Chain A
């Protein structure tokens, strides 16, 4: 598993 956090910004 890499990550469960989602980043939608740059």
Chain B
């Protein structure tokens, strides 16, 4: 339960054209969940900000569940992997 694993938080189509603004909104969302900007920065793996909105972050299960409940979140899933075909 306490171990942090990478989760992908998907937010759908971008709501702002400015990628910087999109990334900032991701950090704010994460900071409000984790309690501080520093924690958010440590947790953030990627901000997806050009083709769509979302981010990858190191979260515990309960944190993932909590953020998934936010209205603007479409879904949260644990990171997966693919192989060469």
A-B interaction: no
Residues of A within 8 A of B (CB): none
Residues of B within 8 A of A (CB): none
